[in-house]
């Protein structure tokens, strides 16, 4: 086999592999709203964590952090074949398993600010 054919074959295989990775990339919108007022939370921090199995249980590693715009929305590029958890500094999160997220999907994250949460929700009781 000549060198030109080998280089062309390697280039073709690499192109196919990169296309597969692009097909797994999706864009989702996360909209953060307040549970009580139902208003968007502007300039709130949205944390994206990816689920990975560790010992002895599943861990969520922080992947990225985004700030919501004037509509309380963040656009995020993700891999559809991973498990993700979206949360803010307030109380509340939402989790999606592998292949649950679709391209151009809007996720509504309804959270409770810690100041507005009942005392029982802010501080979990500890057994004695």
Which tops the pLDDT comparison, 96 or 56?
A: 96
- Give the total number of structural domains in the chain: 1
Mean pLDDT of 80-89: 90
* pLDDT-based confidence at residue 19 (cuts at 50, 70, 90): low
Secondary structure string (H, E, C) spanning 82-109: CCEEEECCCECEEEECCCCCCCCCEEEE
Contact of 94 with 109, CB cutoff 8 Å: yes
Q: What is the pLDDT of residue 122?
A: 42
Q: What percent of the chain has pLDDT over 90?
A: 43
Task: Report CA-CA distances (Å) from 87 to 53, 65, 84, 93, 108.
Answer: 19, 10, 10, 4, 11
Q: What is the pLDDT of residue 96?
A: 92
Identify the CATH number of the domain in which residue 51 sits: 2.60.40.1120
Please report whether residue 102 resides in a domain: yes
Please report whether residue 71 resides in a domain: yes
Mean pLDDT of 112-128: 50
Please report whether residue 64 resides in a domain: yes
* pLDDT-based confidence at residue 123 (cuts at 50, 70, 90): very low
68 φ, ψ (degrees, to nearest 5): -70, 150
Please report whether residue 14 resides in a domain: no
* 3-state SS class at 25: strand
Q: Report the distance separating Cα 55 and Cα 18, nearest Å.
A: 32
Full-model pTM: 0.69
Please report whether residue 17 resides in a domain: no
Range of the domain at 36: 23-114
Which tops the pLDDT comparison, 121 or 24?
A: 24
Predicted confidence (pLDDT) at residue 23 exceeds the cutoff of 50: yes
Q: What is the pLDDT of residue 58?
A: 83
């Amino acid at each position: 086999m000549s060198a030109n054919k080998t280089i062309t074959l390697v280039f073709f295989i690499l192109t196919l592999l990169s296309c597969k990775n692009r097909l797994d990339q999706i864009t989702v919108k996360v909209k953060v709203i307040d549970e009580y007022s139902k208003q968007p939370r502007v300039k709130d921090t949205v944390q994206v964590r990816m689920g990975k199995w560790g010992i002895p249980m599943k861990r969520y590693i922080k992947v990225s952090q985004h700030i919501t715009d004037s509509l309380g929305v963040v656009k995020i590029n993700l891999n559809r074949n991973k498990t993700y958890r979206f949360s803010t500094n307030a109380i509340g999160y939402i989790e999606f398993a592998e292949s649950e997220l679709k391209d151009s999907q809007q996720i509504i994250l309804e959270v409770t600010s810690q100041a507005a949460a009942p005392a029982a929700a802010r501080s979990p009781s500890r057994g004695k």
